[in-house]
Chains A and B, each alone.
Chain A
Amino acid sequence: SQQGEEDPQALSIQEGENATMNCSYKTSINNLQWYRQNSGRGLVHLILIRSNEREKHSGRLRVTLDTSKKSSSLLITASRAADTASYFCATDPTSGTYKYIFGTGTRLKVLA
C-alpha cells in the first residue's frame, strides 16, 4: 500500500503558468523527495528536503514541507512543455525500516 497521496491526480496548464502539486503522508519521516517520471522512463530525482527544513529551491522548483500537517508541496514556476510528466513524492519513514514509500503521483500536462 502507498502512504503518500498526491493532489491533484492530474493537472493541465498553459506554458508559462505555475503548477502546484501537493503530497500528504501518514507517519513521521526523515526526509521527503520529489521525482519526475516521463512516460515510459525511469524516475529523475528533483529535490530532497529533510524533516528539519521548511523550504527548498532548485531552479524553477520550490518545495515546502510542513511536518505538523504531514504535507509537502512542489511548485514549478514558468512551466514549459518539457515539464509534462508524472510527479511523485517519496517519504523515508523514521520507523527504522528502509521502506521508501511513494505517492500515487500527479500527472502534469503543460500545453504549448
Chain B
Amino acid sequence: GAGVSQSPRYKVAKRGQDVALRCDPISGHVSLFWYQQALGQGPEFLTYFQNEAQLDKSGLPSDRFFAERPEGSVSTLKIQRTQKEDSAVYLCASSLVSQETQYFGPGTRLLVL
C-alpha cells in the first residue's frame, strides 16, 4: 500500500507567519511520530501519538509548536509565529505499534526568512 506522505514538501515562511504541516500515515498504523531534523544532524523527536491521543510531547521546543491527530489518522504539526531557528526538515513516521519499525515520510523542508 501507499507509504507515509507529507505536505507540503517545501515551505517558505516569513518570520512571524504561522505554518501547518500535514502527515498522512500508513493506513492502520496506530503510532505516529514527528521529528525535526537540522542540516547534518539526526532527527530529533518532537511528539508521539497513539491513535488520537498525544502521549508524549516532551520534544516540542516551545509552546509555539502544536500537533494534533483528531481522528487517529492524519496529523498536523502547527508552528505559530515562526522564527528563523525553526528552519529544518520536519519528518513524520508511523508504525503499527510503538515499539516496531517506523516508516518515514519524505519530510517537509521549512525555511523561515
Report which A residues bind B (CB closer than 8 A).
2, 4, 30-31, 33, 35, 41-45, 48, 88, 90, 92, 97-105
Q: Top 9 closest A-B pairs, CB basis? A: A102-B42, A98-B48, A43-B104, A42-B104, A98-B56, A42-B106, A99-B45, A102-B43, A88-B42
**CB-contacts of B45-96 with A (<8 A):** 45, 48, 50, 55-56, 58-59, 91, 93
A42-B107, A98-B55, A99-B56 are known contacts. Are A48 and B43 too (CB-CB below 8 A)? no
Asked whether any CB of chain A lies closer than 8 Å to the CB of B98, the reply is yes
* Minimum CB–CB distance for A35 against chain B, Å: 8
Q: CA separation between A48 and B103, bound complex, in Å? A: 12
Q: CA separation between A39 and B93, bound complex, in Å? A: 18
Instruction: Determine chain A's interface SS by DSSP, over half rule.
Output: strand
Choose among A2, A100, A104 the residue with the greatest number of B CB atoms under 10 Å from its CB: A100
Q: A48-B101, A90-B102, A99-B56 are in contact. List 13 more A-B contacts (CB 8 A).
A: A2-B44, A31-B99, A41-B106, A42-B104, A43-B91, A43-B93, A45-B101, A90-B43, A92-B99, A97-B58, A98-B55, A103-B42, A104-B42
Chain B: residues with Cβ within 8 Å of the partner, total of 27
Can you list 10 A-B contacts (CB < 8 A)? A30-B99, A33-B102, A41-B107, A42-B104, A42-B107, A43-B91, A44-B104, A90-B42, A98-B56, A102-B43
Q: CA separation between A29 and B56, bound complex, in Å? A: 17
Report which B residues bind A (CB closer than 8 A).
4, 31, 33, 35, 41-45, 48, 50, 55-56, 58-59, 91, 93, 98-107
CB pair B58 A43 closer than 8 Å: no
Complex contacts, A35 vs chain B, CB 8 Å: 104
A30-B99, A48-B100 are known contacts. Are A101 and B45 too (CB-CB below 8 A)? yes
Complex contacts, B101 vs chain A, CB 8 Å: 33, 45, 48
